[in-house]
Structure 1
Amino acid sequence: MAYIQFSLLHIPATVIVGDSLAMRFREDWHTMAHVMGRWSAKLAGARESASAGAMALPPAIPHRAAPVAARSSAPKQEPSATVIERNGQLRLF
């Protein structure tokens, strides 16, 4: 059922057929949008660049926090948007 919906909506997806409780999977079904969009190659390239980028990054150095302003400004209260007319009705706009 999921494969039919993904295919009709042209969603690139892989539907895995199997038993999710026992973690035994039999088949992988790729939708036509997945195949025509070459998503297998795109995902493989993204995995390679992510693994290469993770190794090339230097360790993170924490930045110093910006100094906090010495005086704190009190929050300004906005005027009420509701207006009560003479007939007792509320008017918003």
Structure 2
Amino acid sequence: MADIQVVAVDTLQFKVTVRDRSTTSHLVSVQPAYAQKLTQGKISTTELVKQSFIFLLAREPNTSILQQFDLSVIARYFPEYEQQITLA
């Protein structure tokens, strides 16, 4: 299993480091309204980002994940994302 570290750069951006067979770094932006929609305030945005990477890594290697993206982009590639991440 990959090691996922999430560090808040500021209130909207998070640096994610994924250590697996290869180590990758990603810069993820998260709009507060989108985070609230997905979490309903039950988990932190940092935890949301981590859970989102767990979701992604179940579907593709870390080397295939975009280096910089907005969290809402995941739903374009994986339509089930919002429903599954809300239930997590």
TM exceeding 0.5:
no
Greater CA radius of gyration, 1 or 2? 1
Structure richer in helix, relative to its length:
2
Q: TM-score w.r.t. structure 2 length? A: 0.19
Structure richer in strand, relative to its length:
2
Q: TM-score w.r.t. structure 1 length? A: 0.18
